[in-house]
């Protein structure tokens, strides 16, 4: 025979099949799987689960948005109070717009929108 002959090896098994579970271990496996499933359900839907966490995060975002809006309104009101206390031109402007006041010697013109003509129905 030749010196360069090679032997053909059978392929290496990467994973061997697991042996079948014994009857006494099947109950333990089923119990472990059931406990794991219950744990996952509790982690997602429980009182402090994922759904509750997502709801709380959404509520926190809404409350932060509301707090920001209220801070903006407060700042606007503070500015208005400051102007009412110290800005005579602002007070005069408000008196003219809201109360219809005018200075002595001024003439006020009020322009109203024309009333729409009554529509006539043909008989």
Torsion of CA 15, 17, 19, 20, to 10 degrees: 140
In-domain check, residue 12:
no
Assess if residue 15 is contained within a domain: no
- Number of structural domains found in the chain: 1
Separation of alpha carbons 95 and 101, rounded Å: 6
Domain carrying residue 56: 25-99
pLDDT per residue as tens digits for the range 17-75: 766 767 777 888 888 999 999 888 888 888 888 888 899 999 999 999 999 999 999 99
Quick check: is 36 in a domain? yes
Measured CA to CA, the distance from residue 28 to residue 35 in angstroms comes to 10
Establish if 108 belongs to a structural domain: no
DSSP tag of 111 = -
The per-residue pLDDT for 76 is 97
Please say whether the beta carbons of 108 and 102 come within 8 A. yes
Angstrom distance (rounded) from CA 44 to CA 51 = 6
Q: What is the pLDDT of residues 35-50, one digit of tens each?
A: 999 888 888 888 888 8
CA distance 38 to 40: 5
Is position 7 within any domain? Answer: no
85 within a domain of the structure (yes/no): yes
DSSP tag of 47: T
Confidence of residue 86 (pLDDT cuts 50, 70, 90): very high
pTM exceeding 0.75: no
Let me know if residue 66 belongs to a domain: yes
Q: Give a yes or no: residue 121 inside a domain.
A: no
């Amino acid at each position: 025979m030749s010196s360069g002959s090679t032997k053909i090896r059978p392929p290496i098994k990467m994973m061997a099949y697991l042996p079948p579970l014994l009857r006494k271990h099947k109950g333990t496996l089923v119990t472990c799987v059931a406990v794991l499933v219950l744990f996952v359900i509790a982690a997602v839907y429980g009182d402090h689960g994922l759904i509750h966490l997502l709801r709380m995060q959404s509520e926190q975002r809404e409350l932060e948005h509301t707090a920001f809006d209220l801070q903006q309104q407060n700042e606007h009101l503070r500015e208005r109070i400051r102007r009412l206390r110290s800005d005579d031109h602002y007070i005069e402007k408000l008196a003219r717009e809201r109360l219809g006041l005018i200075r002595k010697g001024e003439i006020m013109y009020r322009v109203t929108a024309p009333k729409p003509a009554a529509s006539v129905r043909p008989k």
